[in-house]
Amino acid sequence: MISYEVTLQAQPQLADRVQRFMTESHIPQIFVTGCFREIRFSQASAGRFRTAYQANTQADLDRYVQDHAPRFRAEFLERFPEGVKITRETWVQREVWR
């Protein structure tokens, strides 16, 4: 399993708008692409959010990055051109203990 994680650090005055945009529009539209089997949206503190996109394969993530990510990134930056720091990481699951 591949986990693609995006962390957002929004300035306080933008935090509510960022959260609404992510949950009401951005994430649901990404989920419809079919590239991810699950998406989790979490909040650590005021204005700090993490979205974890779970892909079954690297090919699924690659398809998202090539075919869909440019449009979604542009839409986000159009709505929030300043005031939100974005970091992205890809994680490959190696082991699971249950």
Average confidence (pLDDT) over 33-45: 97
Q: What is the mean pLDDT of residues 16-25?
A: 98
- E strand map for 25-92: 38-45, 48-55, 84-92
Look at residue 93 and tell me whether its pLDDT is greater than 90.
no
Q: Which amino acid is at 72?
A: F
The tokens of 98 are what?
A: 């249950």
User: Residue 84's pLDDT is what?
Assistant: 98
Q: 2-92 domain in CATH 3.30.70.100?
A: yes
Question: Do 5 and 53 meet the contact criterion of CB atoms below 8 Å apart?
Answer: yes
